[in-house]
Structure 1
Amino acid sequence: MAEEPTFEDLFRQAKHSAVHLEMRDGYMRSDLEFVSWSRDPHSVPALRDPASRPWLSLMREITGRGVVVRRARIFSEPMSDYLRFEHHLTPSNAAAGEQVRWLPRRRASDLALPGNDFWLFDDTLTVFLHFTGEGELSPDGDEERTTDPAVTRLCSAAFESVWERAVPHEEYQPV
């Protein structure tokens, strides 16, 4: 039996696109960078060299070969401290090739959305991400993969509806 590709492998296997919908107001609050930033926002630089963070190197690699990576975030206003931290770091993601948009939750009320955050690769594979109530990855399994066409259509339509309404990172300032 073939081994399932790692999450990183899924990006390297992507041919055209990888889109990510985030719908929580906080993630991984135990992250040491977040803890440091919470104490002193100047302790974590907004723009970093991709060589310093594997995620940024991966994004530069795959966008460099033409894969479009888009991330949309639905969030409550005023923005949580964790999302302020993410907003602070987003210039590094953009510099590595990711396109990022922000959609205040009040503007998403009439959108049909899946129950969990997800990544959608090439409109064929959906990876749902599971978190605890505290925003940590679920110890019961942090992801669920499916190629079910009905699920990928739902996720694609949800992402596109959010993307259409969302504000590009460069234009959104937290309130």
Structure 2
Amino acid sequence: MESLDAEGWAQLFNSCRESACHLEMRDHYAVAEEAADIEKWRAGKWGPEEDAASKAGWLELMRATAARGVRLRRTRIISEPASEYIRFEHDGTPQNIEAGEEVRWLPRTRASGLALPGNDCWIFDGATVLFNHFTGEGGWVGNELSRDPRVAELCTKAFESAWELGVPHDEFTLT
């Protein structure tokens, strides 16, 4: 297993040819770069323009990746009622969609029959998996890259199963 830095992350998207799928399974993320954004959101001083500016680099990477014909999909498995963080994330999802991502939401109660990996992950072209590791409080720990075909197959099947059950963003209402 390998670990990637930010440049390696971008390279995964730049070399991707067909699909990049993200499976998110946490109800709370506490990554340092979002702390100020969440505070502004809580105070009602956050809207689509602020969200898009905050994640401009990410959105540009998604636009460039989608422009090459890569299908970008994200499934978020969430508890209901939704956590504050998920509400923040939900409010910012239209910017991700505008940049070329497809996003679905899957209430955790509908995911009980799924075999899921132990960590959030990105799956690139069904062959490379980037696991994201977090502390119990949601802080970023690091990532782990796998090119093991068995791991890629497990994660791809898990993603596709969750995607099938998920509700498209524009049809999903948070509770």
TM-score norm. by structure 1 comes to 0.90
Contact 2:31–2:140 (CA under 8 A) maintained in structure 1 = no
- The match for 1:34 among 28, 34, 38 is 38
How far off its partner does 1:121 sit? 0.5
- The match for 2:127 among 124, 129, 139 is 124
Using the alignment, how far apart are the partners of 1:28 and 1:16 within structure 2? 31
Q: Which amino acid aligns with 1:171?
A: E
Superposed, 1:1-175 pairs within 5 Å as: 6-28=8-30, 30=32, 31=34, 32-40=36-44, 43-46=45-48, 53-138=56-141, 142-175=142-175
Using the alignment, how far apart are the partners of 1:87 and 1:38 within structure 2? 14
TM-score norm. by structure 2 comes to 0.90
Contact 1:126–1:147 (CA under 8 A) maintained in structure 2 = yes
Using the alignment, how far apart are the partners of 1:25 and 1:170 within structure 2? 20
How far off its partner does 1:28 sit? 2.1
| Unmatched runs of 5 consecutive residues or more in structure 1 | none
Root-mean-square deviation over aligned CA pairs: 1.7
How far off its partner does 1:46 sit? 2.6
| Unmatched runs of 5 consecutive residues or more in structure 2 | none
Using the alignment, how far apart are the partners of 1:25 and 1:146 within structure 2? 24
Using the alignment, how far apart are the partners of 2:81 and 2:54 within structure 1? 33
How far off its partner does 1:34 sit? 1.2
How far off its partner does 1:36 sit? 1.3
Contact 2:120–2:133 (CA under 8 A) maintained in structure 1 = yes
How far off its partner does 1:164 sit? 0.2
Task: Give per-residue Cα distances to partners, 1:72-106, cap 9 Å, x unaligned.
Answer: 00000000000000000000000000000000000
Contact 1:51–1:57 (CA under 8 A) maintained in structure 2 = no
Aligned residue for 1:130, secondary structure, equals strand
Alpha-carbon distance change, 13 to 166 in structure 1, aligned in 2, over 3 angstroms: same
- The alignment covers a number of residue pairs equal to 167
Aligned residue for 2:29, secondary structure, equals coil
> More helix by proportion, 1 or 2?
2
| Percent identical residues | 49
Contact 1:46–1:90 (CA under 8 A) maintained in structure 2 = no
How far off its partner does 1:33 sit? 0.6
